[in-house]
Structure 1
């Protein structure tokens, strides 16, 4: 069995790539470091978005691990254009995995890239890896592990949120939420 941790970033002041953590988000990032204080980690891989990196930094400092950046952990882009009905489109994208909006990425495309990032670590034999990422892309990874996961579970994610994925042979994966507000 191999163990992987997926962390949704802490509270941030926006959705742009350069959005920073709020003061509350900074406090949350230190609580995450405390949560992982007794947990073995061999590496930390983060989305290039500032809020994900800032979420991982206190933990990386405490564990004396360098944060590696992987663009595949970036948040899913639903559309390149502002959409008044984005919420409805996002909901639909969990049932129609191939639906795309203008300049956006389908759920299937986003799922493929985060799953690829995970399976790369599995193939390399790297265990006890923490991935710092975002809500939509993380929920799609969870959906890959458990197809029953969908829009409702995305809605229930918190900032931050933490899931453990335990990978067993023959592609058997178990997931467990370990962050409690």
Structure 2
């Protein structure tokens, strides 16, 4: 069975906290995202519990009378529980060393593994077309699993929102960026 999984990075938000809402521009982006997805057959939506992810997919879900299933494994990766002024350098290092872990955070390998659990469950069920709404860092780690060249610099090039299509057919996966805005 062919599976299509739309991997969506949330729209522009006011911050990084779990309860950070979308900005005014982010709400406009969410409407544009709904329009972009409107011609696609979607059977299910799974989202991070973070407010910015839920608000990003809300217009599409409402327009299509689809429920949004929350999956905590789609939450953004915690790099550390302490403030790190050099967090960009630290994040870069975690793309080079997938086992690297900072105080109170999770390694790239750990975050990637929880994202892959969700993907494996989506692939193994009978639903054909799924949307997954998540965050830039954890999405980058998933993309890195399929394309080892997807690292820190490609993470930096992600947009808000961004959409990738993962297609799974006969145990083969392909990924392409489909958001052209």
Q: TM-score, normalised by structure 1?
A: 0.97
In structure 1, what is the Cα distance between the partners aligned to 2:146 and 2:10?
20
1:141 is matched with: 142
- Residues 1:179 and 2:179 are matched in the alignment: yes
In structure 1, what is the Cα distance between the partners aligned to 2:127 and 2:115?
16
* Bigger mean CA offset, 103-112 vs 120-129: 120-129
* Bigger mean CA offset, 118-127 vs 22-31: 118-127
In structure 2, what is the Cα distance between the partners aligned to 1:37 and 1:180?
15
1:127 is matched with: 128
1:153 is matched with: 154
2:32 is matched with: 31
Runs of 5+ unmatched residues, structure 2: none
1:125 deviation in Å? Answer: 2.5
Report the 3-state secondary structure (helix = DSSP H, G, I; strand = E; otherwise coil) of the residue aligned with 1:12: coil
Superposed CA RMSD? 0.8
Runs of 5+ unmatched residues, structure 1: none
In structure 1, what is the Cα distance between the partners aligned to 2:126 and 2:103?
38
**How many corresponding residue pairs?**
180
1:22 is matched with: 23
- Residues 1:167 and 2:168 are matched in the alignment: yes
1:70-149 correspondence runs (5 A): 70-149=71-150
1:168 deviation in Å? Answer: 2.0
1:61 deviation in Å? Answer: 0.6
Deviations 1:135-181 (A, max 9, x none): 000011111111221111101000100000011223x2111111123
In structure 2, what is the Cα distance between the partners aligned to 1:176 and 1:60?
23
